[in-house]
Every structure is written in C-alpha cells, then in structure tokens.
Structure 1
C-alpha cells in the first residue's frame, strides 16, 4: 500500500467529488493547537473553555483520588501550585457552532479517516451524536482509536515518508436518528472490480436482510457502476454505503484495501483469491443466523496492529465460530 492510497481516502479529499450521493457534511481544518490538545495525555482531563456558554458539560472530568494534587493550600500564596486553566479555541468553536446549526442541530464527528466510535460510551446518549463543541471535544479527546489518524496513518505504507498528514480536518456529518445499522455495507474493490460486499454491523443478526439480500446486491452494484467506479481514482479500495428504506444508496466512507481496514465477514486472503479467479463475480455476505454473529471488532488500535494471522487468538476464535456454525447447520435439529 502506498501513501497516496491512504491520502485519497481522507474525507476532505473524496467528499467534494461525492457530496451529491453522500451524507451532508461540513469540514473544518483544525488548528495545530487543537491537534496538540488531542494528543496531550499529561495532567488532568480538561475540556476546552466554551466562549458561548451553552454547554452543560463541566470544564474538567474529575478523578476524586487525584483532586488533592491540584488543591491550593491556605496561606501558600503564589508559591502554591495553581490548577491548570482549560484551553480555549474560540474561532474553531464558533465555526463548529454555525455548522451544527446549519446541519439541523446534531452531528457526528470524524477526523481525516476515523470516527471516535470507541468513546461513544462516554456521551450522555451512548452514541456519537453531538450538539455542541464541548461534546465533540469530549468524544475526540476520549478516543484511543483516533491515535491511528493522529500518529499511525502511514505505518502500513511501503513508501512511508511521513508520520502524520500535514493537516488534520474535522468532518461534521448530519445526524440521522432513524438510521438502521443493518443497512450499512462495506464493499471491496480490486483492480476496479467489485469483488465483495459485507454487512457492516457484524455483531447482530437481522432476519429482514435474508429477504432483501438479492435486491440489496442489485442496488449496491448499480451504485458502484454509476457513481463510484469511474470517479474514485484508486484501483484497490473499499467503500461503505448505507441503503435507505426506499432503496437509495448513500456513500458513507472510503478506506484503503487491506492494512487497518476491517474485512468484516471476509478474510483478506479470501478476497485476494476471489480476484484471482476469473469470472468469480461479487460475493455478498450477511450474518445469516444468530449463531453466526461475530464479536465486536471496534478495537482501540488499527486492525494491522492486531495479531490476526494463522494461529493467532483472533484467527482461532473465528475458525471455531465458523466450525460451530457448520456443525449446527448439519445437525439433525437443523434439518441438515
């Protein structure tokens, strides 16, 4: 994989060309001071001071056990250690406030490549829904997975010459409360041919997908042919789509082929083999029973940092799951 492939999958690179078929998004270049704030892991967890005074979040996420470290002793005067002041990014906050309002009052954030999915638990809703600058800062500052974007985006590149991109961007995407997780799919493109489609949310079984599978494959393949294949520059990549209730396809994201991109219901070796087999066509995989549900793979490190090769823990776990599914399918109770 080359650096160019990684760069072209940044949202600020691809979104302008695909905005008509994607989720409405507004993108802001981040000042370096805010990037440094996201990377700072020293001292107390401080949220930026709000200049609009509309946020209900406290300025600090406190740890009572550490509180005494920042107490000022009576009579100690200037010699006492003063608690650090929260950082402030007034220009960025005002721009983000305007964007949130123009996008209907709620957004979900992501950086150049990744969204802070691993920190959704810390929000009041347990989701990535944000209505203020402080909520966005809280999600970004709490996320371990965003360290990939900030520090390790090029680690898998054969021509690596950078440790990070020259600029970081914050993409604010319109929040749709009615989105159904089972209708998002990852598509795999090799040599400009669509070779695989996988259910994106592999941690759940959705019976309705069994009935709609054929129709979904048709609309996704048509979308790739009409909207993506002749426009996106790379030969090898993946892209995520969402299919609406009236069968319209919306582009969600692009990711490089391999490296830190999760293959979901495939293995990368399978996809490579599919490409090598002439006339193989598109393979569409969904979770077809409750016993085929996969474990959550929203890890806090890039996929290529995980031990997933032959003999690894993940490899053995997934093989055991596949064997158990095959056993249950062939059992008398299953009618096999």
Structure 2
C-alpha cells in the first residue's frame, strides 16, 4: 500500500467528487491546537472555555460555570493545585455550531478517515448523534480509534514518510435517525473490478437482506460502474454504501485495501485469491441464518492493531467461531 492510496480515502479528498451521491457533509480544517487538545492525555476532561450552560454535558464533563465548586479554600495547603486553564477555540466552535444548524440540528462526526464509534457509549444517546460542540469534543477526546488517524495513519504504507497527515479535518455528516443497519454494505475493489460485497453489521441476522439479495447486488454493482469506478483513482480499495428504502444507493465512505480496514464476512486471503478467478461474478456475502452469525468481528480498534497471526488468541478464537458456525449451520432454523 502507498501513501497516495491512503490519502485518497480521506473524506476531504473524496467527498467533493462524490457529494451528489453521498450523505450531506460539511468539512472543517482543524487548527493544530485543537489536534493537541484531542491528544492530551493528562488531567481531567475540560470543556473549551466558551462552552457553558445548556451546551455543557452535566454530570459527565466539567462546566466552567461550576468552577467555584472546585475552588480550594484558603489555608488548605493545596493552593498550588489550581485547575488547568480551559482551552479556547472560538472560531472553530462558531463554525461547527453553524454547520450543525445547516445540517438540521444533528450530525455525526469523523476525522480524515475514522469516526469515534468506540466512544458512542459515553454519549447521552449512546450513539454518535451530536447537536453541540461539547458533544463532538467529548466523543473525539474519548475515542481510542481516532488515535489511528492522529498518530498511525501511514503505518501500513511501504513508502511511509510521516506518521500523520499535515492537516486534520473534521467532517460533520447529517444525522438520519431512520437509517437501517441492515442496509449498509462494504464493497471490495481489486484492480478496479468489484469482486466482493459484504453485509457491514456482521453480528445480526437480517431476513430482509436474504429476500432482497439479488436486487441489492444489482443496485450496488450498477452504482459502482456508473459512479465509483470512473471517478476513484485507486486500483485497489473498499467503499461503503447505504441502500435507501427507495432502492437508491448512497456512498458512505472509502477505505484502503487491507491494512486497518475490516474485511467483514471475508478474509483478506480470500479476497486476494478471488481476484485471480475468471469472470466478473461478485461474491455477495450475508448472514444466512441466526446460526451463522460471526461474533468477534465488530471491534473498536483498527484491523492492523489486532494480533491475528497463527497461534494468537484472535486466530484461535476465529477458528473456533468458524468451526462452530459450520456445526450450527445444520441446526433446525438454519434456513429461517
């Protein structure tokens, strides 16, 4: 993998070309002090200075209006332990507030490549839905996944010259509360040819996908040839799509081939081997029954952070999961 291939998958690079077939998104360049703020590990989580009142998250993060609650009384001997000054990003906060309003009042955030999915648990909604700058800051600061973007973006590149891009961006994507997880798919492109499609939510069996499998495959393949293949420059990559109730396909994201990209219901070895097969058939994989759900693939860390080498704990776990899946495929409701 080359740095150029990774760079093409940054949302600020691909979105302008595909905005007509993607989710409405507004993108902001992040000032370097805010990047340092995201990487700060020491001390308590402190909100930016201008965030207060209704825009703070009570009982979760510090509200500057309540700072007097933390003041140390005279003579306590701890006068030197004053709280660190709150960071201040007024221009960025104003732009984000305006963007949230433009996008309908709710967004989900991501950086150049990744979204803070692993920190959704800390939000009051349990999702990536954000309606204020403080909620976005909390998700970004609490995410371990984003450390990949911030510090290890090019670790898998053969021509690595840096550990991070020169500039980071925050993409705010319009929040759609009615999106169905079963209609999200990851597509695999090798030598500019679509060779595989996988259900993205690999921990749940959705009968509706089975009923519409051929229709979905046809729609996604047509979308690829009409919209993606002519305009995306890389030869090998993956892209994620969402299929609406009306059958329209929306582009969600691009990811590099291999490295930190999860192969979902495939393995990278299978995808490499299928590339050499003759014909233009696409391998479309879904969970066929409740008995063949593959646990363990829905992780909150980049794929290359997992030790899946022969003999590792993950290797043994996945082997056992595959074996159990084959056994359970014969269970009574296997075709339900």
Fold similarity call, TM over 0.5: yes
CA distance in 2, matches of 1:176, 1:303: 27
Q: Does 1:39 align with 2:42?
A: no
Tell me how far apart the structure 1 counterparts of residues 16 and 334 of structure 2 sit (CA, whole Å).
50
Q: Which residue pairs with 1:319 in the alignment? A: 319
Q: CA deviation at 1:162?
A: 0.6
1:269-288 matches, within 5 Å, as 269-279=269-279, 281-288=281-288
Measure how far apart 1:117 and its partner are. 0.1
CA deviations 1:234-257 (Å, max 9, x no partner) are 000000000000100000000000
8 Å CA contact 1:48, 1:59 repeated in 2: no
Gaps of 5+ in 1: 63-69
2:127 is aligned to 127
Secondary structure of the equivalent of 2:295?
A: coil
**Distance 1:72-1:272 versus aligned 2 partners, 3 A rule:** same
Residues in 1 aligned to 2:319 and 2:14: alpha-carbon distance in whole angstroms = 36
Aligned length: 329
Per the alignment, do residues 185 and 332 of structure 1 end up closer, same or farther by CA in structure 2, a change over 3 Å counting?
A: closer
How much has 1:294 moved relative to structure 2?
2.2
Partner of 2:189: 189
Query: Please, what TM-score do these two structures have when normalized by structure 2?
Result: 0.92
Give how far 1:71 is off.
Answer: 5.8
Q: Measure how far apart 1:325 and its partner are.
A: 2.4
Cα distance in 2 for residues equivalent to 1:50 and 1:197? 45
Q: Distance in 1 between matches of 2:134 and 2:144?
A: 18
How far is 1:87 from its partner?
Answer: 1.1
Root mean square deviation of aligned Cα: 2.1
CA distance in 1, matches of 2:49, 2:183: 38
**1:332: how far off?**
7.8
Q: How much has 1:312 moved relative to structure 2?
A: 2.5
Q: Deviations over 1:90-134 (max 9, x none)?
A: 110000000000000000000000000000000011000000000
1:14 equivalent in alignment to 2:14: yes
Q: Secondary structure at the match of 2:254?
A: strand
Distance 1:330 1:3 in 2: 45
Paired residues of 1:187 and 1:196 also in contact (CA < 8 A) = yes
The within-5 A match list for 1:261-300 is 261-279=261-279, 281-300=281-300
Alignment TM-score, normalising by the size of structure 1: 0.92
> 2-side partners of 1:298 and 1:324: how far apart?
18
Distance in 2 (CA, whole Å) between partners of 1:20 and 1:259 is 29
Provide the C-alpha distance between the structure 1 equivalents of 2:14 and 2:77, rounded to a whole number of angstroms.
55
**Counterpart in the other structure of 1:106:** 106
- 2:116 match: 116
Structure 1 residue matching 2:212: 3-state secondary structure: helix
Report the CA distance between 1:73 and its aligned residue: 4.5
Structure 1 segment 1-336 matched on structure 2, within 5 A: 1-50=1-50, 53-58=53-58, 61=61, 72-75=72-75, 80-279=80-279, 281-330=281-330
Distance in 2, Cα, partners of 1:329 & 1:302:
30
Cα displacement (A) at 1:184? 0.3
Deviation at 1:330, TM superposition (A): 3.8
- Using the alignment, how far apart are the partners of 2:297 and 2:334 within structure 1? 29
Q: Note the residue ranges of structure 2 that are not aligned, 5 or more in a row.
A: 63-69
CA distance in 2, matches of 1:75, 1:31: 40
